[in-house]
Each structure stands twice: as structure tokens, then as C-alpha cells.
């Protein structure tokens, strides 16, 4: 992929369209619904597979997807961010999950063949926006985060066992426990892969 593409100009498809959403030329607003989440089996023993995901479909092997998230989360586990939802047993998400008035968890979940993991770091609860950069190199992936959309920090590198061919990727938001809130996604673009083969990072011009 050599040119920058506006994500909102791609052919987008919903997996479980939310009851309340708004899409403009500049952003997507999702109003979450109580009891929605993505998780499979590990530790808790339950599966929850009902969060709305808005995605583009691609066979491109090398690219980066960048998005800014802004959110009004206030109930435990409220979350919004980046997703690659292939099917109920194979998917990825990265987001901030609200915990309480003091902390929330910046983290990611990789689900391969029906089992989820969860990698997190605690951050203050007054952070109400975050940028993400999701990069693909064949069936390997990297997720980064940024407070300003310019200086990105690596969150994790991972492999998707079913992620070597055509994939779907995009955004999601949900409220696993109580309540509802608005999640706003903007500045969404797909670029040449910023994750170089030697592990170094390209600087987007």
C-alpha cells in the first residue's frame, strides 16, 4: 500500500450494528449498549461475543491503520478502540477499559482458536482520548498507542493463526456491565506499513 487511504471511504461493514450510531465524512460515533463485550473462555470460563465492530475488508499484507478515540466511559469495563474481528474464535482488540475513578486499563486482547489473553497497564481515569496504530506484516501484527497522534509507543506484537489471508479490521465500542456512553472515532486512515521488516519504525511523512 503506497498511498494514504481514508478509512471512511473504504467499503465498511458492521458485525452487529449498534442501535445508535452516526457516521459522517469525518468521524464515527457509537453509543454503546449495556451487556456488550468481546471475550472467549480463558480464566472466567464464559464467552461474550456481542460487541459492535465496524470494519474494512482487505487482502493487503502490509499496512498500518491509525485512529483517534475519544470517550465518555464511566462504568466498569467500558471500552472502545481498534479491532480485527475475523470470527467469534479469532479476533484482536486494543482499547482503554474503565475500572474506577482512579484507574483504567490500557491494553489488548488476542484471541486465537477460541481462547483470549489480556495484556494491560494501568493509567489514570482522567485520560479520555487515545490514538492507536495497528500494523500488519503478513500474519504478524503490531499495536501501538499515542497521546498526541505523533509519538507512538509499542503495546505488543502478536501472531494470528487465521490472519494470513483476507482480514477485516476497524473499530469497536462496548459496555460489558451497566450504562451506556458515546465513543467517537476520528482521523482514521490506512497507510503504507509503518512497521519495517527489520523491526525499526518508519516515520510517516
pLDDT tens digits, one per residue of 130-185: 999 999 999 999 999 999 999 999 999 999 999 999 999 999 999 999 999 999 99
Alpha-carbon distance of 130 to 136, in angstroms, equals 20
Map out the domains of the chain as residue ranges: 5-191
Alpha-carbon distance of 34 to 173, in angstroms, equals 11
Q: Is the pTM of this model over 0.75?
A: yes
Domain 5-191 in CATH 2.60.40.3620? The answer is no
pLDDT tens digit string along 68-117?
Answer: 999 999 999 999 999 999 999 999 999 999 999 999 999 999 999 999 99
DSSP string, 147-177: SSSSS-EEEEEEE-TT-SSSEEEEEEEEBSS
| Nearest by Cα to 131 from 74, 79, 81 | 81
Amino acid at each position: 500500500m503506497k498511498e494514504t487511504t481514508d478509512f471512511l471511504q473504504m467499503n465498511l461493514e458492521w458485525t452487529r450494528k449498534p442501535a445508535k450510531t452516526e457516521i459522517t465524512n469525518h468521524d464515527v460515533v457509537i453509543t454503546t449498549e449495556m451487556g456488550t463485550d468481546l471475550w472467549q473462555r480463558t480464566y472466567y470460563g464464559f464467552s461474550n461475543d456481542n460487541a459492535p465492530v465496524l470494519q474494512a475488508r482487505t487482502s493487503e499484507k502490509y499496512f498500518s491503520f491509525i485512529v483517534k478515540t475519544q470517550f465518555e466511559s464511566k462504568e466498569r469495563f467500558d471500552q472502545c478502540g481498534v479491532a480485527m474481528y475475523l470470527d467469534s474464535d479469532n479476533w484482536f482488540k486494543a482499547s482503554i477499559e474503565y475500572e474506577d475513578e482512579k484507574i483504567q486499563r490500557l491494553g489488548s486482547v488476542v484471541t486465537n482458536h477460541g481462547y483470549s489473553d489480556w495484556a494491560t497497564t494501568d493509567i489514570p481515569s482522567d485520560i479520555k482520548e487515545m490514538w492507536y496504530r495497528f500494523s500488519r506484516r503478513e500474519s504478524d501484527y503490531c499495536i501501538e498507542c499515542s497521546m498526541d497522534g505523533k509519538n507512538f509507543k509499542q503495546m505488543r506484537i502478536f501472531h494470528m493463526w487465521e490472519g494470513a489471508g483476507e482480514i477485516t479490521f476497524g473499530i469497536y465500542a462496548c459496555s460489558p456491565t451497566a450504562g451506556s456512553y458515546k465513543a467517537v472515532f476520528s482521523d482514521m486512515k490506512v497507510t503504507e506499513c509503518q512497521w519495517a521488516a527489520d523491526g525499526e519504525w518508519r516515520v510517516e511523512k
